[in-house]
Amino acid sequence: MLTVSFPAAAMGTNCYVFARERGSECVVVDPGIGVTDQLFEVLGELDLKPTAVLLTHGHLDHTFSVTPVCGGRIAAHIHADDRYRLVNPYDQLGPQLRGMLEQSFGKSATWREPEKVVSIHEGEPLELAGLTFGVTHAPGHTEGSVMFTVDEVPDGLDDAVAATVNQSVITGDVLFAGSIGRTDLEGGSDAAMQQSLRTKVLPLPDSSLILPGHGPASTMARERVSNPYLQALQGSGA
C-alpha cells in the first residue's frame, strides 16, 4: 500500500495519503492547517487522484484544508456525531487560537463547509481507491472520534517492523505513541475515552501498525507495554 504522511504547518497534525500504487486513485486523511501546497505537490509527483477525504474527527487542526482538498468534486467523510463540527469549526475556537490562526495566515478566519459530506458509522466499511477502510467509533476526544483500519501496511517499512505488523490503524487523536488524546475540550469526555481505550483500543491485535493524528507511528505491541494510559487500564483488570 502506497502511503505518504507529513505534518501540517501548525499543531503537527499528520496528514496521510493512501493509494494502491502510483498513478491511481487515493484517499486523503485529516488535511490540517496549511497542508494544501505540500499535499498537491505529493499528488502531482505520484500522479494520484483523490477520491475521498476521511476525517478522524472534527477539530479544526484535522479539517482546516478539507474544503479546498475536496474542491466540490469529492466527499468528506466524518462520523455522524461530529458532522456538526463541519458547519463552522471556528465557532468552537477560543479567541487566543483564533488570533493565532489570523496572525499566521494574515487574514480573518473564515470557513466554507465542504459541498459533499458523508456521515459514517461504525461497522460500515468504506470501499475507496481500491482499499477497504474499517470504521471504529471511539469517542472521548470528541463525540465522533473514529479510528480507520486497513488490512494492509505501508510500503517501505523497516524490515524489523514490517515483520511484526499486518494491518494499519489510523487512530487520529484517540491513541498516540506513548499517550492519548486530551478530553478537556468541548465534546470531550474522560469517561468515554476510558471506555474507548478499554473496548476499542486494547482489543487491537499486537500486529497493528498505529498511525496517529500527531507524532510518530508505533505498534500496538509497543503501546501495550509502554503507553502509561493503556498500562493503567490493564493493571486495573480492564
pLDDT in tens, 2-14: 999 999 988 899 9
Cα–Cα distance measured from residue 8 to residue 200, given in angstroms and rounded to the nearest whole number: 27
pLDDT score, position 189? 98
Query: Model confidence at 108, in pLDDT bands (50, 70, 90)?
Result: low
Backbone angles phi, psi at 75, to 5 degrees: -95, 145
Architecture of the domain delimited by 2-236: 4-Layer Sandwich (3.60)
User: How many contiguous H segments (helices) and E segments (strands) does the chain have?
Assistant: 8, 14
Displacement of CA 206 from its chain's centroid (Å): 20
> Tell me, what's the pLDDT at 98?
66
User: Hey, which residues does 25 pair with through a beta bridge?
Assistant: 49
Phi-psi region of 33 (alpha: psi -120 to 50; beta: other; left: phi over 0): beta
| pLDDT tens sequence across 178-198 | 999 999 988 999 999 999 999
- Tell me the average pLDDT across 80-98: 79
Please give the helix or strand (H or E) that residue 211 lies within, else none: strand 208-212
Q: How far apart, in Å, are the Cα atoms of 171 and each of 16, 25, 68, 160?
A: 12, 22, 24, 22
**What proportion of the chain, given as a percentage, has pLDDT over 90?**
83
* pLDDT given at position 9: 87
The answer to whether the Cα torsion of 213, 80, 115, 22 is positive or negative is positive
Give the domain ranges of the chain: 2-236
DSSP bridge pairs for 14: 7
